[in-house]
Chain A
Amino acid sequence: GNSVTQMEGPVTLSEEAFLTINCTYTATGYPSLFWYVQYPGEGLQLLLKATKADDKGSNKGFEATYRKETTSFHLEKGSVQVSDSAVYFCALILDSNYQLIWGAGTKLIIKP
Chain B
Amino acid sequence: DSGVTQTPKHLITATGQRVTLRCSPRSGDLSVYWYQQSLDQGLQFLIQYYNGEERAKGNILERFSAQQFPDLHSELNLSSLELGDSALYFCASSSWENNSPLHFGNGTRLTVT
Contacts and interface: CB of A to CB of B under 8 A. Distances in A.
Q: Do the two shown chains form a genuine complex with each other? A: yes
A93 B33 CA distance: 13
B56 A102 contact: no
Interface residues of B, number: 24
Given A98-B31, A98-B56, A99-B58, A46 B102 contact: yes
Interface centre among B2, B92, B99, B107 (most CB of A within 10 A): B99
A31 B98 CA distance: 11
Contacts of B58: 99
Provide the main secondary structure of the chain B interface: strand
B11 to A, nearest CB: 16
Contact of B48 (A42, A44, A98): A98
B99 A95 contact: yes
Instruction: Indicate the size class of the contact surface on chain A.
Output: 20 to 34
A97 B45 CA distance: 13
B104 A43 contact: yes
Contact of B104 (A44, A93, A95, A104): A44
Contacts of B31: 98
Contacts of A34: 101
Contact of B99 (A43, A93, A102): A93
Interface of B: 2, 4, 6, 31, 33, 42-43, 45, 48, 55-56, 58, 90, 92, 94, 98-99, 101-107
21 contacts: A36-B104, A43-B4, A43-B90, A43-B105, A43-B106, A44-B90, A44-B92, A44-B104, A45-B104, A95-B98, A95-B99, A97-B56, A98-B48, A98-B55, A98-B56, A98-B94, A98-B98, A99-B33, A99-B48, A99-B56, A102-B42
Interface of A: 31-32, 34, 36, 42-46, 49, 51, 89, 93, 95, 97-100, 102, 104-105
